[in-house]
Structure 1
Protein backbone atom coordinates (compact mmCIF):
# COMPACT_ATOMS: atom_id res chain seq x y z
CA UNK A 1 0.00 0.00 0.00
CA UNK A 2 1.29 3.42 -0.94
CA UNK A 3 2.46 5.41 2.11
CA UNK A 4 1.21 8.95 2.66
CA UNK A 5 4.79 10.22 2.55
CA UNK A 6 6.91 7.97 0.31
CA UNK A 7 10.62 7.74 1.07
CA UNK A 8 12.60 8.50 -2.09
CA UNK A 9 16.28 7.76 -2.64
CA UNK A 10 17.98 9.85 -5.34
CA UNK A 11 21.54 9.44 -6.56
CA UNK A 12 23.34 12.30 -8.27
CA UNK A 13 21.31 14.65 -6.09
CA UNK A 14 23.79 17.49 -5.75
CA UNK A 15 22.73 19.32 -8.93
CA UNK A 16 20.73 19.13 -12.15
CA UNK A 17 17.91 16.60 -12.41
CA UNK A 18 18.62 15.13 -8.99
CA UNK A 19 18.43 18.40 -7.07
CA UNK A 20 15.33 19.47 -9.02
CA UNK A 21 13.60 16.17 -8.24
CA UNK A 22 14.48 16.52 -4.57
CA UNK A 23 12.91 19.99 -4.37
CA UNK A 24 9.77 19.00 -6.26
CA UNK A 25 9.19 15.77 -4.34
CA UNK A 26 9.86 17.45 -0.99
CA UNK A 27 7.10 19.90 -1.86
CA UNK A 28 4.84 16.86 -2.36
CA UNK A 29 5.64 15.68 1.17
CA UNK A 30 8.10 12.93 0.27
CA UNK A 31 10.94 12.12 2.64
CA UNK A 32 14.30 11.93 0.90
CA UNK A 33 17.64 10.17 0.86
CA UNK A 34 20.02 12.30 -1.19
CA UNK A 35 23.33 10.89 -2.37
CA UNK A 36 26.18 12.39 -4.37
CA UNK A 37 29.95 12.61 -4.42
CA UNK A 38 29.79 16.30 -3.40
CA UNK A 39 28.82 16.05 0.26
CA UNK A 40 28.64 19.80 0.90
CA UNK A 41 26.03 20.30 -1.82
CA UNK A 42 23.70 17.50 -0.74
CA UNK A 43 23.97 18.52 2.91
CA UNK A 44 23.07 22.12 2.02
CA UNK A 45 20.15 20.89 -0.07
CA UNK A 46 18.96 18.63 2.76
CA UNK A 47 19.04 21.53 5.19
CA UNK A 48 17.08 23.70 2.75
CA UNK A 49 14.36 21.10 2.18
CA UNK A 50 13.98 20.25 5.86
CA UNK A 51 13.62 23.93 6.70
CA UNK A 52 11.29 24.75 3.79
CA UNK A 53 9.04 21.69 3.70
CA UNK A 54 9.47 20.00 7.08
CA UNK A 55 10.28 16.63 5.53
CA UNK A 56 12.91 14.16 6.73
CA UNK A 57 16.04 14.24 4.62
CA UNK A 58 19.09 12.00 4.85
CA UNK A 59 22.15 13.26 2.96
CA UNK A 60 25.29 11.27 2.34
CA UNK A 61 28.27 10.73 0.08
CA UNK A 62 28.00 7.97 -2.48
CA UNK A 63 30.12 6.89 -5.42
CA UNK A 64 27.78 4.71 -7.46
CA UNK A 65 30.72 3.01 -9.17
CA UNK A 66 31.81 1.50 -5.85
CA UNK A 67 29.75 -1.38 -4.43
CA UNK A 68 30.78 -0.73 -0.84
CA UNK A 69 29.93 2.96 -1.09
CA UNK A 70 26.50 2.24 -2.59
CA UNK A 71 25.63 -0.44 -0.05
CA UNK A 72 26.73 1.72 2.88
CA UNK A 73 24.74 4.73 1.64
CA UNK A 74 21.56 2.76 0.98
CA UNK A 75 21.68 0.97 4.34
CA UNK A 76 22.38 4.18 6.25
CA UNK A 77 19.54 5.97 4.43
CA UNK A 78 17.04 3.18 5.09
CA UNK A 79 18.03 3.01 8.75
CA UNK A 80 17.76 6.77 9.19
CA UNK A 81 14.39 7.16 7.43
CA UNK A 82 12.76 3.86 8.40
CA UNK A 83 12.87 2.23 4.98
CA UNK A 84 12.69 3.10 1.28
CA UNK A 85 9.85 3.19 -1.24
CA UNK A 86 11.29 4.82 -4.36
CA UNK A 87 14.67 4.55 -6.07
CA UNK A 88 15.80 7.14 -8.62
CA UNK A 89 18.97 5.96 -10.37
CA UNK A 90 19.90 9.40 -11.59
CA UNK A 91 23.69 9.57 -11.33
CA UNK A 92 25.25 9.60 -14.80
CA UNK A 93 27.51 11.51 -17.14
CA UNK A 94 28.90 11.94 -20.62
CA UNK A 95 32.63 12.48 -21.05
CA UNK A 96 33.95 13.82 -24.34
CA UNK A 97 32.68 13.66 -27.91
CA UNK A 98 35.24 11.21 -29.23
CA UNK A 99 34.92 8.96 -32.22
CA UNK A 100 34.89 5.35 -31.07
CA UNK A 101 38.54 4.61 -31.86
CA UNK A 102 39.71 7.80 -30.13
CA UNK A 103 37.96 7.23 -26.79
CA UNK A 104 40.47 7.20 -23.90
CA UNK A 105 40.14 4.50 -21.25
CA UNK A 106 39.47 7.15 -18.60
CA UNK A 107 36.34 8.40 -20.37
CA UNK A 108 35.22 4.95 -21.47
CA UNK A 109 35.38 3.61 -17.94
CA UNK A 110 33.81 6.70 -16.36
CA UNK A 111 30.72 6.44 -18.57
CA UNK A 112 30.24 2.68 -18.48
CA UNK A 113 30.93 2.34 -14.77
CA UNK A 114 28.73 5.27 -13.74
CA UNK A 115 25.90 4.95 -16.26
CA UNK A 116 25.56 1.16 -16.29
CA UNK A 117 27.33 -0.41 -13.31
CA UNK A 118 26.26 2.39 -10.98
CA UNK A 119 22.61 1.96 -11.93
CA UNK A 120 22.74 -1.80 -11.31
CA UNK A 121 24.48 -1.36 -7.96
CA UNK A 122 22.01 1.29 -6.79
CA UNK A 123 18.95 -0.79 -7.63
CA UNK A 124 20.48 -4.03 -6.37
CA UNK A 125 21.13 -2.41 -2.99
CA UNK A 126 17.78 -0.64 -2.72
CA UNK A 127 15.35 -3.23 -4.05
CA UNK A 128 15.18 -5.36 -0.87
CA UNK A 129 13.93 -2.31 1.02
CA UNK A 130 11.17 -1.68 -1.54
CA UNK A 131 10.11 -5.31 -1.28
CA UNK A 132 10.10 -5.10 2.50
CA UNK A 133 7.92 -1.98 2.33
CA UNK A 134 5.43 -3.77 0.06
CA UNK A 135 5.08 -0.84 -2.33
CA UNK A 136 7.67 0.78 -4.52
CA UNK A 137 8.72 2.55 -7.68
CA UNK A 138 12.06 2.36 -9.51
CA UNK A 139 13.05 5.21 -11.82
CA UNK A 140 15.79 5.09 -14.40
CA UNK A 141 16.97 8.38 -15.87
CA UNK A 142 17.84 7.39 -19.41
CA UNK A 143 18.30 9.55 -22.49
CA UNK A 144 17.28 9.99 -26.10
CA UNK A 145 20.83 8.68 -26.65
CA UNK A 146 19.45 5.30 -25.61
CA UNK A 147 17.02 5.43 -28.52
CA UNK A 148 19.09 6.96 -31.32
CA UNK A 149 22.90 6.92 -31.50
CA UNK A 150 24.93 9.77 -32.95
CA UNK A 151 28.47 10.55 -34.06
CA UNK A 152 30.84 11.38 -31.25
CA UNK A 153 28.64 9.67 -28.70
CA UNK A 154 29.22 5.96 -29.30
CA UNK A 155 30.17 5.00 -25.77
CA UNK A 156 27.68 7.33 -24.08
CA UNK A 157 24.92 6.04 -26.36
CA UNK A 158 25.95 2.46 -25.63
CA UNK A 159 25.67 3.14 -21.91
CA UNK A 160 22.19 4.60 -22.30
CA UNK A 161 21.05 1.74 -24.55
CA UNK A 162 22.27 -0.41 -21.65
CA UNK A 163 20.13 1.52 -19.18
CA UNK A 164 17.14 1.01 -21.46
CA UNK A 165 17.77 -2.76 -21.56
CA UNK A 166 18.13 -2.92 -17.78
CA UNK A 167 14.90 -1.00 -17.26
CA UNK A 168 12.95 -3.21 -19.65
CA UNK A 169 14.36 -6.37 -18.08
CA UNK A 170 13.58 -5.22 -14.54
CA UNK A 171 10.01 -4.42 -15.57
CA UNK A 172 9.62 -8.05 -16.67
CA UNK A 173 11.37 -9.48 -13.63
CA UNK A 174 9.21 -7.52 -11.16
CA UNK A 175 5.93 -8.29 -12.87
CA UNK A 176 3.48 -9.49 -10.21
CA UNK A 177 5.10 -7.45 -7.44
CA UNK A 178 3.77 -4.11 -6.24
CA UNK A 179 6.78 -2.24 -7.61
CA UNK A 180 6.49 -0.01 -10.64
CA UNK A 181 9.37 0.57 -13.08
CA UNK A 182 9.73 3.71 -15.19
CA UNK A 183 12.46 5.05 -17.46
CA UNK A 184 12.36 8.81 -18.04
CA UNK A 185 14.49 9.54 -21.11
CA UNK A 186 15.20 13.25 -21.71
CA UNK A 187 16.64 14.89 -24.78
CA UNK A 188 18.51 18.18 -24.73
CA UNK A 189 18.36 19.66 -21.23
CA UNK A 190 20.35 22.56 -19.82
CA UNK A 191 22.13 21.38 -16.68
CA UNK A 192 25.83 20.82 -15.85
CA UNK A 193 25.77 17.96 -18.40
CA UNK A 194 27.54 19.83 -21.21
CA UNK A 195 30.01 21.48 -18.84
CA UNK A 196 31.06 18.04 -17.60
CA UNK A 197 31.13 16.55 -21.09
CA UNK A 198 32.99 19.32 -22.89
CA UNK A 199 35.05 20.72 -19.99
CA UNK A 200 34.73 24.16 -21.58
CA UNK A 201 32.16 26.73 -20.46
CA UNK A 202 31.94 28.54 -23.82
CA UNK A 203 31.47 25.31 -25.77
CA UNK A 204 28.85 24.19 -23.27
CA UNK A 205 26.86 27.41 -23.73
CA UNK A 206 27.04 27.04 -27.52
CA UNK A 207 25.21 23.70 -27.32
CA UNK A 208 22.02 25.54 -26.30
CA UNK A 209 22.44 28.65 -28.47
CA UNK A 210 19.19 29.58 -30.21
CA UNK A 211 17.28 26.75 -28.54
CA UNK A 212 14.92 26.58 -25.58
CA UNK A 213 15.99 23.26 -24.04
CA UNK A 214 14.37 21.26 -21.28
CA UNK A 215 15.16 22.41 -17.77
CA UNK A 216 15.97 20.20 -14.80
CA UNK A 217 12.54 21.11 -13.41
CA UNK A 218 10.85 19.80 -16.57
CA UNK A 219 12.43 16.39 -16.10
CA UNK A 220 11.67 16.43 -12.37
CA UNK A 221 8.02 17.08 -13.19
CA UNK A 222 7.96 13.94 -15.38
CA UNK A 223 9.18 11.88 -12.43
CA UNK A 224 6.69 13.51 -10.06
CA UNK A 225 3.77 12.87 -12.43
CA UNK A 226 4.65 9.21 -12.93
CA UNK A 227 5.06 8.70 -9.19
CA UNK A 228 1.72 10.29 -8.33
CA UNK A 229 -0.38 8.25 -10.77
CA UNK A 230 -2.75 5.59 -9.36
CA UNK A 231 -1.00 2.42 -8.28
CA UNK A 232 -2.35 0.28 -11.12
CA UNK A 233 -0.83 2.65 -13.73
CA UNK A 234 2.80 2.08 -14.80
CA UNK A 235 4.51 4.41 -17.26
CA UNK A 236 7.12 2.05 -18.68
CA UNK A 237 9.01 4.63 -20.68
CA UNK A 238 8.73 8.40 -21.16
CA UNK A 239 10.68 9.94 -24.04
CA UNK A 240 10.71 13.71 -23.54
CA UNK A 241 12.30 16.40 -25.71
CA UNK A 242 11.99 20.15 -25.98
CA UNK A 243 9.85 21.41 -28.84
CA UNK A 244 12.93 22.58 -30.77
CA UNK A 245 14.41 19.06 -30.81
CA UNK A 246 12.55 16.75 -33.18
CA UNK A 247 15.30 14.11 -33.03
CA UNK A 248 18.96 13.77 -32.15
CA UNK A 249 19.86 15.05 -35.62
CA UNK A 250 17.07 17.58 -36.15
CA UNK A 251 17.20 20.71 -34.04
CA UNK A 252 15.65 24.10 -34.70
CA UNK A 253 17.91 27.00 -33.75
CA UNK A 254 16.63 30.56 -33.76
CA UNK A 255 18.94 33.17 -35.26
Structure 2
Protein backbone atom coordinates (compact mmCIF):
# COMPACT_ATOMS: atom_id res chain seq x y z
CA UNK A 1 0.00 0.00 0.00
CA UNK A 2 1.38 3.41 -1.00
CA UNK A 3 2.20 5.59 2.02
CA UNK A 4 2.96 9.32 1.87
CA UNK A 5 4.62 11.62 4.41
CA UNK A 6 4.82 15.41 4.08
CA UNK A 7 7.71 17.04 5.92
CA UNK A 8 8.15 20.80 6.29
CA UNK A 9 11.60 22.29 6.82
CA UNK A 10 13.23 19.27 5.21
CA UNK A 11 16.44 20.92 3.99
CA UNK A 12 18.45 20.30 7.16
CA UNK A 13 18.54 18.87 10.67
CA UNK A 14 15.56 16.94 11.99
CA UNK A 15 13.54 17.47 8.82
CA UNK A 16 16.24 16.00 6.59
CA UNK A 17 16.89 13.11 8.98
CA UNK A 18 13.16 12.38 9.12
CA UNK A 19 12.91 12.38 5.32
CA UNK A 20 15.63 9.73 5.21
CA UNK A 21 14.08 7.43 7.79
CA UNK A 22 10.59 7.64 6.28
CA UNK A 23 12.05 7.00 2.83
CA UNK A 24 14.07 4.06 4.17
CA UNK A 25 10.81 2.57 5.41
CA UNK A 26 9.06 2.87 2.07
CA UNK A 27 7.20 6.16 2.36
CA UNK A 28 6.90 8.40 -0.69
CA UNK A 29 7.64 11.98 0.31
CA UNK A 30 6.50 15.54 -0.09
CA UNK A 31 9.40 17.62 1.21
CA UNK A 32 9.24 21.37 1.65
CA UNK A 33 11.67 24.19 2.39
CA UNK A 34 12.84 27.63 1.33
CA UNK A 35 16.27 26.63 0.01
CA UNK A 36 15.54 25.28 -3.45
CA UNK A 37 19.01 23.94 -4.23
CA UNK A 38 19.21 21.95 -1.01
CA UNK A 39 15.66 20.68 -1.45
CA UNK A 40 16.26 19.47 -5.00
CA UNK A 41 19.53 17.80 -3.97
CA UNK A 42 17.79 15.97 -1.12
CA UNK A 43 14.96 14.89 -3.43
CA UNK A 44 17.40 13.37 -5.90
CA UNK A 45 19.36 11.62 -3.14
CA UNK A 46 16.20 10.09 -1.67
CA UNK A 47 15.01 8.86 -5.06
CA UNK A 48 18.36 7.20 -5.79
CA UNK A 49 18.94 5.73 -2.33
CA UNK A 50 15.44 4.45 -1.60
CA UNK A 51 13.70 4.12 -4.98
CA UNK A 52 10.72 6.20 -3.88
CA UNK A 53 8.75 9.08 -5.37
CA UNK A 54 9.62 12.52 -4.01
CA UNK A 55 7.80 15.80 -4.61
CA UNK A 56 9.88 18.83 -3.54
CA UNK A 57 7.85 21.99 -2.88
CA UNK A 58 9.73 25.26 -2.44
CA UNK A 59 7.83 27.72 -0.23
CA UNK A 60 8.05 29.69 2.99
CA UNK A 61 5.57 28.47 5.63
CA UNK A 62 5.26 32.07 6.86
CA UNK A 63 3.57 33.13 3.64
CA UNK A 64 0.01 31.88 3.37
CA UNK A 65 -0.32 32.48 -0.37
CA UNK A 66 2.84 30.44 -1.02
CA UNK A 67 1.54 27.59 1.12
CA UNK A 68 -1.81 27.67 -0.68
CA UNK A 69 -0.14 27.69 -4.09
CA UNK A 70 2.05 24.71 -3.13
CA UNK A 71 -0.86 22.61 -1.86
CA UNK A 72 -2.89 23.43 -4.98
CA UNK A 73 -0.34 21.62 -7.18
CA UNK A 74 -0.96 18.31 -5.41
CA UNK A 75 -2.77 15.83 -7.62
CA UNK A 76 -5.19 13.25 -6.23
CA UNK A 77 -2.42 10.73 -5.59
CA UNK A 78 -0.23 13.16 -3.64
CA UNK A 79 -3.20 14.37 -1.60
CA UNK A 80 -3.37 10.98 0.12
CA UNK A 81 -1.04 12.15 2.89
CA UNK A 82 -0.69 9.66 5.76
CA UNK A 83 1.73 11.64 7.92
CA UNK A 84 2.22 15.40 8.18
CA UNK A 85 5.37 16.37 10.07
CA UNK A 86 5.20 20.04 11.05
CA UNK A 87 8.94 20.38 11.51
CA UNK A 88 9.69 23.89 10.19
CA UNK A 89 10.69 26.15 13.07
CA UNK A 90 13.49 28.26 14.47
CA UNK A 91 14.79 30.46 17.25
CA UNK A 92 16.47 33.80 16.62
CA UNK A 93 18.27 35.75 19.33
CA UNK A 94 18.72 35.12 23.04
CA UNK A 95 18.13 38.48 24.70
CA UNK A 96 16.03 39.64 27.65
CA UNK A 97 12.59 40.92 26.71
CA UNK A 98 13.61 44.58 26.97
CA UNK A 99 16.34 44.08 24.38
CA UNK A 100 14.54 41.73 22.00
CA UNK A 101 14.44 42.41 18.27
CA UNK A 102 11.04 43.08 16.74
CA UNK A 103 12.02 41.41 13.47
CA UNK A 104 13.31 38.34 15.32
CA UNK A 105 10.01 38.09 17.18
CA UNK A 106 7.99 38.38 14.00
CA UNK A 107 10.04 35.66 12.29
CA UNK A 108 9.65 33.21 15.19
CA UNK A 109 5.91 33.83 15.58
CA UNK A 110 5.27 33.65 11.84
CA UNK A 111 7.28 30.44 11.40
CA UNK A 112 6.66 28.49 14.59
CA UNK A 113 2.98 29.32 15.09
CA UNK A 114 1.39 30.76 11.97
CA UNK A 115 3.39 28.56 9.59
CA UNK A 116 2.36 25.44 11.48
CA UNK A 117 -1.26 26.62 11.39
CA UNK A 118 -1.22 27.41 7.67
CA UNK A 119 0.11 24.00 6.68
CA UNK A 120 -2.16 22.14 9.09
CA UNK A 121 -5.24 24.07 7.97
CA UNK A 122 -4.61 23.13 4.34
CA UNK A 123 -3.59 19.48 4.83
CA UNK A 124 -5.87 18.35 7.67
CA UNK A 125 -9.10 18.57 5.59
CA UNK A 126 -7.58 15.99 3.22
CA UNK A 127 -7.14 13.67 6.20
CA UNK A 128 -10.63 14.43 7.52
CA UNK A 129 -12.07 13.50 4.15
CA UNK A 130 -10.36 10.09 4.32
CA UNK A 131 -10.92 9.60 8.07
CA UNK A 132 -7.23 8.76 8.35
CA UNK A 133 -3.90 10.43 9.02
CA UNK A 134 -1.32 11.45 11.59
CA UNK A 135 -0.12 14.97 12.34
CA UNK A 136 3.19 15.20 14.19
CA UNK A 137 4.16 18.60 15.58
CA UNK A 138 7.74 19.37 16.51
CA UNK A 139 7.67 21.18 19.83
CA UNK A 140 10.49 21.72 22.32
CA UNK A 141 11.39 21.58 25.98
CA UNK A 142 10.91 25.35 25.56
CA UNK A 143 7.21 24.61 25.17
CA UNK A 144 7.14 22.91 28.56
CA UNK A 145 9.32 25.35 30.52
CA UNK A 146 10.36 28.98 30.25
CA UNK A 147 13.99 29.96 30.66
CA UNK A 148 15.89 33.23 30.91
CA UNK A 149 16.09 35.15 27.61
CA UNK A 150 13.98 32.54 25.85
CA UNK A 151 10.83 34.69 26.14
CA UNK A 152 9.30 34.78 22.63
CA UNK A 153 10.76 31.47 21.43
CA UNK A 154 9.37 29.79 24.56
CA UNK A 155 6.03 31.50 23.95
CA UNK A 156 5.84 30.14 20.40
CA UNK A 157 6.64 26.62 21.52
CA UNK A 158 4.10 26.86 24.35
CA UNK A 159 1.64 27.78 21.59
CA UNK A 160 2.64 24.64 19.67
CA UNK A 161 2.03 22.61 22.85
CA UNK A 162 -1.45 24.09 23.19
CA UNK A 163 -2.25 23.73 19.50
CA UNK A 164 -1.19 20.09 19.61
CA UNK A 165 -3.73 19.47 22.39
CA UNK A 166 -6.39 21.39 20.46
CA UNK A 167 -5.74 19.42 17.27
CA UNK A 168 -6.00 16.15 19.19
CA UNK A 169 -9.45 17.16 20.46
CA UNK A 170 -10.75 18.69 17.22
CA UNK A 171 -9.58 15.83 15.01
CA UNK A 172 -10.60 13.04 17.40
CA UNK A 173 -14.00 12.42 15.72
CA UNK A 174 -12.19 11.99 12.39
CA UNK A 175 -9.86 9.18 13.48
CA UNK A 176 -6.74 11.34 12.99
CA UNK A 177 -3.75 10.89 15.27
CA UNK A 178 -1.91 13.92 16.68
CA UNK A 179 1.46 13.83 18.42
CA UNK A 180 3.90 16.40 19.82
CA UNK A 181 7.62 15.59 19.93
CA UNK A 182 9.45 17.88 22.35
CA UNK A 183 13.25 17.64 22.20
CA UNK A 184 15.82 19.09 24.54
CA UNK A 185 19.26 20.02 23.21
CA UNK A 186 19.77 18.73 19.65
CA UNK A 187 22.91 19.65 17.75
CA UNK A 188 21.67 20.85 14.36
CA UNK A 189 21.65 24.28 12.71
CA UNK A 190 19.36 25.45 15.53
CA UNK A 191 21.98 27.32 17.56
CA UNK A 192 23.71 28.69 14.45
CA UNK A 193 20.40 30.26 13.43
CA UNK A 194 19.71 31.44 16.98
CA UNK A 195 23.10 33.20 17.10
CA UNK A 196 22.73 34.52 13.55
CA UNK A 197 25.59 32.59 11.99
CA UNK A 198 28.07 32.73 14.88
CA UNK A 199 29.36 29.15 14.59
CA UNK A 200 31.75 29.38 17.57
CA UNK A 201 29.02 30.63 19.87
CA UNK A 202 26.74 27.86 18.63
CA UNK A 203 29.38 25.19 19.31
CA UNK A 204 29.76 26.38 22.89
CA UNK A 205 26.13 25.47 23.59
CA UNK A 206 26.99 21.78 23.25
CA UNK A 207 30.32 21.74 25.10
CA UNK A 208 30.70 19.42 28.06
CA UNK A 209 27.94 16.91 27.22
CA UNK A 210 26.63 14.75 24.41
CA UNK A 211 23.58 16.36 22.81
CA UNK A 212 20.88 14.59 20.89
CA UNK A 213 21.31 14.27 17.14
CA UNK A 214 18.82 14.93 14.37
CA UNK A 215 18.73 11.17 13.78
CA UNK A 216 17.77 10.53 17.42
CA UNK A 217 14.70 12.71 16.97
CA UNK A 218 13.89 11.34 13.51
CA UNK A 219 13.98 7.80 14.90
CA UNK A 220 11.51 8.87 17.60
CA UNK A 221 9.25 10.57 15.07
CA UNK A 222 9.17 7.45 12.91
CA UNK A 223 8.51 5.27 15.96
CA UNK A 224 5.35 7.18 16.91
CA UNK A 225 4.23 7.15 13.26
CA UNK A 226 4.68 3.38 13.00
CA UNK A 227 2.53 2.34 15.96
CA UNK A 228 -0.66 0.32 15.41
CA UNK A 229 -3.82 2.25 14.42
CA UNK A 230 -5.30 2.03 17.93
CA UNK A 231 -2.19 3.58 19.61
CA UNK A 232 -1.53 7.33 19.73
CA UNK A 233 1.34 9.04 21.55
CA UNK A 234 -0.16 12.41 22.51
CA UNK A 235 2.98 14.03 23.80
CA UNK A 236 6.61 12.94 24.12
CA UNK A 237 9.58 14.79 25.63
CA UNK A 238 13.06 13.50 24.75
CA UNK A 239 16.25 14.78 26.35
CA UNK A 240 19.97 14.05 26.30
CA UNK A 241 20.93 11.97 29.32
CA UNK A 242 22.97 14.94 30.54
CA UNK A 243 19.98 17.32 30.47
CA UNK A 244 17.16 17.01 33.03
CA UNK A 245 15.28 20.18 32.09
CA UNK A 246 15.73 23.46 30.24
CA UNK A 247 18.12 24.67 32.95
CA UNK A 248 19.52 21.58 34.74
CA UNK A 249 22.55 19.96 33.11
CA UNK A 250 25.37 17.56 33.92
CA UNK A 251 28.20 19.12 31.95
CA UNK A 252 31.86 18.12 32.16
CA UNK A 253 34.06 21.19 32.27
TM-score range, shorter chain: over 0.9
CA distance in 2 between partners of 1:155 and 1:78 (Å): 38
Q: Unmatched 5+ residue regions in structure 1?
A: none
Does 1:228 find its partner at 2:237? Answer: no
Which residue in 2 is equivalent to 1:159?
A: 156
| Count of residue pairs the alignment pairs up | 252
| Alignment TM-score, normalising by the size of structure 1 | 0.96
Q: 2:2: which partner in 1?
A: 5
Deviations 1:152-208 (A, max 9, x none): 100000000000010001101111212100000000000000000012110000000
Structure 2 residue corresponding to 1:251, chosen from 246, 249, 252 = 249
Shift of 1:121: 0.3
Quote the offset at 1:82 in angstroms: 4.8
| SS at 1:239 equivalent | strand
Determine the structure 2 residue equivalent to 1:205: 203
Residue 79 of structure 1: how far off its partner (Å):
4.8
Structure 2 residue runs of 5 or longer lacking an equivalent are none
Deviations 1:196-231 (A, max 9, x none): 001211000000011100100010011100010000
State how far apart, in whole Å, the 2-side matches of 1:5 and 1:222 are. Answer: 22
Deviates more, 1:231-240 or 1:76-85: 76-85
Look up the match of 1:34.
Answer: 31
The equivalent residue for 1:52 is 49
Q: Identify the residue that residue 130 of structure 2 maps to in structure 1.
A: 133
Mapped contact 2:209–2:250 kept (Cα < 8 A): yes
Cα RMSD over matched residues?
A: 1.2
Q: Deviations over 1:79-115 (max 9, x none)?
A: 5635322111110000000111111110010011100
1:237 maps to what in 2? 235
Q: If the length of structure 2 is used for normalisation, what is the TM-score? A: 0.97
Show the counterpart of 1:181. 178
1:51-76 Cα deviation digits (max 9, x unpaired):
11111100021110111111122232
Q: C-alpha distance in 2, partners of 1:78/1:153? A: 41
In the alignment, the residues of structure 1 paired with residue 91 and residue 125 of structure 2 have an alpha-carbon distance, to the nearest angstrom, of 30
Q: 1:78·1:84 contact (CA, 8 Å) conserved in 2?
A: no
Relative to structure 1, is the Cα distance of residues 78 and 197 closer, same or farther in structure 2, using a 3 angstrom cutoff? farther
Tell me, in whole angstroms, the C-alpha distance in 1 between the residues paired with 2:129 and 2:29.
18
